[in-house]
Structure 1
Amino acid sequence: MGLGLGENTARLRRTVGGLMASAAFALASAPAWAQDRLGQPTPGGIDLQPAASVLKRDAIFFHNAILLPIITVICLFVLALIIWIVIRYNKKANPVPARWSHNTAIEIVWTVVPVLILVGISLFSFRLLFAYHDTPPVDLTIKATGNQWNWAYEYPDQGIPEYISNVLPEAELAKRGMPHDLYRLAADEPLVVPVGKVVKVLVTGADVIHAFALPAFGLKTDAVPGRVNETWFRAEREGVFYGQCSELCGDDHAFMPIEIHVVSQAEFEKWVVSKGGSMTPKSAAPAAAPVAAPAAADAAVPAAEAGAAPAAASVGATTGVPATAPAAAPAAPAAQ
């Protein structure tokens, strides 16, 4: 029995040592496989995507510095209460249960304290909501329409008509040398915006409710048919950023990626020209053409009247009737 016990002890030690070594290796290698990726999900990541706009940076601060500490403290406090109650008021430690039903002081505390916590959270929450609502002066406007199952984009100020953005096929990823992680994230016709500019996005839906969501910019706006919602962002760095429709919208909901390329102003202008648009706003010159037509018609009326006057004068000279327009009007009933 002594040998069996020693063998079991040694086996247990080896098992524990192996588990500790595995845990140490996992912790040591965690930064390698969970390194945050910019603009796309991180395999094995546990944090929010890195911020690429001021709105997302404020949202990360609200989550990490306000909500997370409060949630952690509340969870630890409740856990401590449960442990204390289990130990203090179990049947062995407390064979005779108390017969009181409530405690006024405790009830006041657990009512007032949560209210104060919610009020404190609301101060930061409303500040963030106002930042989303109060759009700065806009440099670029884009209309995004959700369809089953793709996105349609339009640049009204640049005269770029609506074009469709579909998911990039899996086979196309390999042809372009892109990693397979981008499948269902990459699109064949991405959005292109200049860096550092305020971009307003008008979001609507063509059939059912979709959602325009891009985590790196902190965007998530519902695309509702018959309604136009508005959001904005200002990209702080160049790069490629990915999002998806985040509202369950049908069979191919997972095939509605959103891809945004943030480029320099010069590259953006080249892209606008390649799409048949122009950086010069549409002028009011075409609107002046309909106005000129009535003016020409008005000018033609005096000319016609001037041409009719000599004809009437010649008639008066042969008939002896004064050449006046009112004199010609009563002649019509006489002819009848």
Structure 2
Amino acid sequence: MAHPTQLGFQDAASPLMEELLGFHDHALMIVFLISTLVLYIIIAMVSTKLTNKFILDSQEIEIVWTVLPAIILILIALPSLRILYLMDEINDPHVTVKAMGHQWYWSYEYSDYENLGFDSYMMPIQDLTPGEFRLLETDHRMVVPKESPIRVLVSAEDVLHSWAVPSLGMKMDAVPGRLNQTAFIVSRSGLFYGQCSEICGANHSFMPIVVEAVPLENFEKWSSLMLKDA
């Protein structure tokens, strides 16, 4: 969960988010080195005699500033493509959840169970208990087992929405008439908060997402209770 004065991303709660954080640091370091080099060259050319005719017409420098950016692009592209392929990998999911966006709430349907589904609305401020987050809590959470592959099918009933949970590295557009899919593995128990990340209307900021990761035995107890109440 984000906190005041925080710099950087939320703590990773999935292997995919750990990969994204690593790639972010990798790309940031490259940008930092480029910025330092360019700043040094600008200062050197202003304060020294580097602006003489030999430097300005140097074939060697032209080769360097042509080849070096190509190498930098390769160093960024290769890990980026690797993560893109990892994000598309969906191998033998243990649980499949269909997330449907509405104006302005989410509904969840557990496809592996016959009658397990519910709507998830934002919790009214007057119903919050101490320790809960305003505008982020929901009356029903999406409960999943930790350390298990979870597939999420995402769509929408009305307009464009986007199902996003930053600490899990998840962001998938919900498009009416189209079924998109993504997958994740939660590496630890806890509550992970997200929101619709597509401007979907007047109450766009009032359709939060709460993913609750629990041990497998707790998930089985929860699903049994939900099926009894259905």
Letter in 1 for 2:35: C
Bigger share in helix: 1
Cross-structure match for 1:68: 28
Cross-structure match for 1:177: 130
Cross-structure match for 1:53: 14
CA distance in 2: counterparts of 1:101 and 1:50, whole angstroms: 48
Structure 1 residues 104 and 214: alpha-carbon distance in aligned structure 2, compared to 1, 3 A threshold? same
More relative contact order, 1 or 2 (CA 8 Å, 6+ apart):
2
Cross-structure match for 2:182: 231
The Cα shift of 1:107 comes to 3.3
Structure 1 residues 261 and 79: alpha-carbon distance in aligned structure 2, compared to 1, 3 A threshold? same
Bigger share in strand: 2
Q: How many residues align?
A: 229
SS in 2 for 1:151: strand
8 Å Cα contact 1:160-1:277 kept in structure 2:
no
Please show how residues 208-287 of structure 1 align to structure 2 within 5 Å.
208-276=159-227
Please show how residues 20-99 of structure 1 align to structure 2 within 5 Å.
40-64=1-25, 66-88=26-48
Cross-structure match for 1:303: none
The Cα shift of 1:234 comes to 0.9
SS in 1 for 2:182: strand
The alignment status of 1:187 with 2:187, answered yes or no, reads no
8 Å Cα contact 2:116-2:223 kept in structure 1:
no
8 Å Cα contact 1:160-1:272 kept in structure 2:
no
Letter in 2 for 1:107: E
CA radius of gyration, larger in:
1
8 Å Cα contact 2:89-2:183 kept in structure 1:
no
Letter in 2 for 1:212: W
SS in 2 for 1:249: coil
The Cα shift of 1:161 comes to 4.4
Q: 2:97 aligns with which of 123, 126, 142?
A: 142
Q: Alpha-carbon deviations, 1:45-75, whole Å to 9, x = none? A: 11211111111111111112x1121111011
RMSD between aligned alpha carbons? 2.3
The Cα shift of 1:84 comes to 2.2
TM-score by length of 1: 0.63
Structure 1 runs, 4 residues or longer, greater than 4 Å off? 100-104
Q: Which structure 2 segments of 5+ residues have no match?
A: none
CA distance in 1: counterparts of 2:62 and 2:116, whole angstroms: 62
Cross-structure match for 1:22: none
Structure 1 residues 134 and 87: alpha-carbon distance in aligned structure 2, compared to 1, 3 A threshold? same
CA distance in 2: counterparts of 1:247 and 1:86, whole angstroms: 46
Sequence identity percentage: 39
The Cα shift of 1:233 comes to 0.8
Structure 1 residues 156 and 114: alpha-carbon distance in aligned structure 2, compared to 1, 3 A threshold? same
